[in-house]
Amino acid sequence: MIDIKLIRENPELVKENIRKKFQDHKLPLVDEVKDLDYKFRIVKQEGDDLRALKNTKSDMIGKLMRDGNKDEAMRIKNEVSNFNHKIDELTKEEESLQQEIKKRMMLIPNIIDASVPIGKDDSENVEIKKYGEPSVPDYEIPYHADIIESLNGLDKVSAGRTSGNGFYYLMGDIARLSSAMLAYARDFMIDKGFTYCIPPFMIRSDVVTGVMSFEEMDAMMYKIEGEDLYLIGTSEHSMIGKFKDQIIKESDLPITLTSYSPCFRKEVGAHGIEERGIYRVHQFEKQEMIVLCKPEEAFKWYDKMWSYTVELFRNMDIPVRTLECCSGDLADLKVKSCDVEAWSPRRKDYFEVGSCSTLGDAQARRLGIRSKGDNGTYYVSTLNNTVLASTRALIALIENNYNSDGSINVPVSLQPYMGGIKVIKPK
């Protein structure tokens, strides 16, 4: 959520930002907010003036009574009583206008950084850099589900019976490999100085709307029936929510946390749920990182965070690249974002395995997360980045470490987490 001062002082900048995101249907919201805000300030001023007058008159009543001027005191008392009715009306109008303003402000996208490329959707994202040499072996690499099944590591049939499409059982050494990747990612981030955390896996609606847009919420979140609780789609949600309505000492910034959680997603949209494999599913596990920092330090942390994901995947012998997300591919709260994509030797192309974003103070404004320093109180900047999402990382590791005999090489970095196993062989 942007600062309403921007709409008061520079509405054309806000409109131009909406156009850059190809959301022209939201342009009327700017003028609506500006008009409602003008009415709100008039009503609030009238209410404040009347409250001040009421206080002045109330002080007079006591003095008049002490001076024996009872008739005048009673006249003023009746006058003050009439003020109360008008003040109640103005207070209700203030609250109604505030709600209407907030409803629209929550739909207006955050101001994107000037460096963000302009484009309509993810097809116009811009490659930044490749890390590692993408290669294709001279033997065929099967579809990842077939590879895992040949290692007795995947059972989607049973998952279909227990849970339906979009779920899976990982078994044996493959399940252990998935856990090894997550454990390595956890320790990797701890070594980078991040504090490890296991957060709640359900959050209330006021936290959900604080960390994401309504469109994302409807497409992603599972609601618990009869409860004001949602299953998290990523631990960023509960990790940022941890600081809701808090004032953080400036000396405690930056706050750097890395968290493990299962993640639950509807995956609503044209892409759908993958029938056979584990690329797009309703449930997976994830190691995440978040940072809360001073606004002027946000881009320094942004560059650090995505570079950690690149380093992690290179340590597992997986070539990756980074892509700059264009304006139309940015969620409404994001200022700037980049994707980390892993090489798929089977498809001879890259696919997304993580995303790093800086959101400015948008989440902090929605959730009331502030810091207090020598120059006063301000909203902090928040950032998040995927360290490792279990299923997609597993696909990347399997394809890039697949041998012609159907076995999988276990990267050196993961072998301590696999009990020293160096190769997973077909049964």
Picking from 52, 74, 105, the residue at the C-terminal end of a domain is 105
State the CATH number of the domain containing residue 220. 3.30.930.10
137 shares its domain with 31:
no
56: pLDDT strictly greater than 60 = yes
175 shares its domain with 297:
yes
Task: Give burial (CB, 10 Å; 0-12/13-18/19+) of 129.
Answer: exposed
Say which range, 29-43, 62-76, 99-113, 245-259, has the weakest mean pLDDT.
62-76
Full domain range(s) for residue 205: 122-424
Confidence class for position 213, pLDDT limits 50, 70, 90: confident
CB 341 within 8 A of CB 309: no
| Dihedral (CA of 232, 235, 237, 239) sign | positive
pLDDT confidence of residue 41: 96
State the CATH number of the domain containing residue 29. 1.10.287.40
Task: Give me the half-sphere count of Cα atoms (radius 13 Å) on the Cβ side of residue 48.
Answer: 6
Q: In the predicted model, what is the mean pLDDT of residues 173-190?
A: 98
113 found inside a domain: no
pLDDT confidence of residue 198: 97
74 shares its domain with 143:
no
95 shares its domain with 135:
no
64 shares its domain with 130:
no
181 shares its domain with 89:
no
64: pLDDT strictly greater than 80 = no
Picking from 105, 136, 155, the residue at the C-terminal end of a domain is 105
pLDDT confidence of residue 62: 67
What pLDDT, in 10s, does the model give residues 300-314? 999 999 999 999 999
311 shares its domain with 362:
yes
392 shares its domain with 246:
yes
90 shares its domain with 140:
no
Q: What is the pTM of this model?
A: 0.90
Confidence class for position 65, pLDDT limits 50, 70, 90: confident
The count of other CB atoms within 10 Å of the CB of residue 149 is: 18
Domain count, the chain: 2
92 shares its domain with 211:
no
417: pLDDT strictly greater than 90 = yes
pLDDT confidence of residue 311: 98
98 shares its domain with 139:
no
Residue scoring higher pLDDT (375 or 17): 17
152 found inside a domain: yes
The count of other CB atoms within 10 Å of the CB of residue 9 is: 10
72 found inside a domain: yes
Assign 3-class secondary structure to 183-244.
HHHHHHHHHCCCEEECCCCEECHHHHHHHCCHHHHHHHCEECCCCCCEECCCCHHHHHHCCC
Peptide bond into 254 cis (omega under 30): yes
183 shares its domain with 60:
no
Residue with tokens 């584990």: 278
CB 294 within 8 A of CB 371: yes
117 found inside a domain: no
249 found inside a domain: yes
Assign 3-class secondary structure to the chain.
CCCHHHHHHCHHHHHHHHHHCCCHHHHHHHHHHHHHHHHHHHHHHHHHHHHHHHHHHHHHHHHHHHCCCHHHHHHHHHHHHHHHHHHHHHHHHHHHHHHHHHHHHCCCCCCCCCCCCCCCCHHHCEEEEEECCCCCCCCCCCCHHHHHHHCCCEEHHHHHHHCCCCCCEECHHHHHHHHHHHHHHHHHHHHCCCEEECCCCEECHHHHHHHCCHHHHHHHCEECCCCCCEECCCCHHHHHHCCCCCEEEHHHCCEEEEEEEEEECCCCCCCCCCCCCCCCCCEEEEEEEEEEECHHHHHHHHHHHHHHHHHHHHCCCCCEEEEECCHHHCCCCCCEEEEEEEEECCCCEEEEEEEEEECCCHHHHHHCCEEEECCEEEECEEEEEEEEEHHHHHHHHHHHCECCCCCEECCCCCHHHHCCCCEECCC
383 found inside a domain: yes
What pLDDT, in 10s, does the model give residues 268-302? 655 666 678 999 999 999 999 999 999 999 999 99
The count of other CB atoms within 10 Å of the CB of residue 259 is: 24
Nearest residue to 319 via CA among 280, 281, 349, 289: 349
Picking from 105, 136, 171, the residue at the C-terminal end of a domain is 105
79 found inside a domain: yes
Joined together, the tokens standing for residue 371 give 């810091």
406 found inside a domain: yes
What average pLDDT does the chain have?
93
